[in-house]
Amino acid sequence: MNEEFLKSFDGTREAGAIASGTLDELNTIIKPGVTTEKIDKVCYEYINDHGAYSAPLYYRGFPKSCCTSANHIVCHGIPQNKILRDGDILNVDVTAIKNGWHGDTSRMYLVGDVSVKAKKLIKVTYESMLKGIEILKEGSFTGDIGNAIQTHVEQQGFSVVRDFCGHGLGRKFHQSPNILHYGEEKTGEKLVAGMLFTIEPMINEGVYNTKVLSDGWTAVTKDKLLSAQFEHTVGITNNGYEIFTLSKKGLDLPESLK
Ligand code: MF3
Ligand code: CO
Ligand code: CO
């Protein structure tokens, strides 16, 4: 990799650390009774205290600093005065911009006591993201990522959302390539060292179809069954890959699912 790539990796590493540090911070506050607005406030403050900006804030008119997607919300839920209740599952998605570089990551949180089936959905979603990451190397294809994810998810009886995908990022929040979370091996784009992108599978308990609510953002499952998502920002290196958004505290997956 040349100078230019090393610079983009250094920048993304810093942005990624702030984004994942934000999610670490949320572990102490997410419990029954908290509002998604409070979660947004903690995200806003952590990101700003670390000399970064929130990428979602005012992005295409999005009003908040993170996305909060509970239960049957697939993605892009807007933080508001909604109170989280015992048994809810919640995805929080954070993107920090540091020195112009983007770090984008999301995790699932358990609110109080969560059902066995919700836990299984979350665990399978996390495993599928890792399976998509493990195959990364120069010469692999974007379709290999989707295939690894889809194979695992469907074996476990769940479905892969088609309407949203992972994405290249760097100085821009969203750019090529699109990273589909389903598909065939050896299709799509060939991976080369220096590429930066996200892997962020959204996995549904029932059908994979989604619809967007009248707020223009909130995407929900068509059958109102549960949905889960995890997201890491990754880069292709000379000898494999780097994950930029790992938790420095080991909080990538809720403790009770390990
Ligand atoms: N962070 C989301 C992603 O993973 C995008 C959120 S865009 C927003 O790509 F405007 F909804 F915040
Ligand atoms: Co993303
Ligand atoms: Co994201």
* 258 in a structural domain: no
Residue 96 β-bridge partners: 54, 103
- Which residues form ligand 1's pocket by a CB distance below 6 Å? 56, 59-60, 62, 67, 76, 93, 95, 104, 198, 200, 217, 231
Domain-located, residue 97: yes
Pocket perturbation via mutation, ligand 1, pick of 53, 67, 108, 174 by most ligand atoms within 8 A of CB = 67
d(CA 186, ligand 3 centre) in Å: 26
Distance (Å) from CA 201 to ligand 2 centroid: 10
Over residues 160-176, the mean pLDDT reads: 98
- Residue-number span of the structural domain to which 64 is assigned: 3-250
Let me know if residue 256 belongs to a domain: no
Whether residue 106 lies inside any domain: the answer is yes
Question: Does residue 79 belong to any structural domain of this protein?
Answer: yes
User: 236 falls in which pLDDT band (50, 70, 90)?
Assistant: very high
pLDDT tens column, 150-163:
999 999 999 999 99
The number of distinct structural domains making up the chain is 1
Predicted confidence band of residue 140 (pLDDT cuts 50, 70, 90): very high
pLDDT at 4 over 90: no
The answer to whether 181 touches 126, Cβ cutoff 8 Å, is no
Calculate how far, in angstroms, residue 67's C-alpha sits from the geometric centre of ligand 1.
7
**Residue 3: per-residue pLDDT:** 87
Q: From 89, 98, 96, select the one nearest 126 (Cα to Cα).
A: 89
Q: Is 181 in a helix, a strand, or coil?
A: coil
Q: Among residues 39, 40, 18, which one has the least CA distance to residue 30?
A: 39
Parallel, antiparallel, or unpaired: how do β-strands 159-160 and 227-229 relate? unpaired
Q: Could you give the C-alpha distances from 212 to 145, 218, 220, in angstroms and in order? A: 26, 5, 6
What is the CATH number for 35? 3.90.230.10
The atom number, within ligand 1, closest to the CA of 217 reads: 11
Q: Could you tell me if residue 53 is inside a domain?
A: yes
Dump pLDDT digits (tens) for 64-119: 999 999 999 999 999 999 999 999 999 999 999 999 999 999 999 999 999 999 99
This prediction has a pTM of 0.98
pLDDT of residue 1: 75
Mean pLDDT of the chain: 98
Residue 246 lies in a domain: yes
Domain-located, residue 37: yes
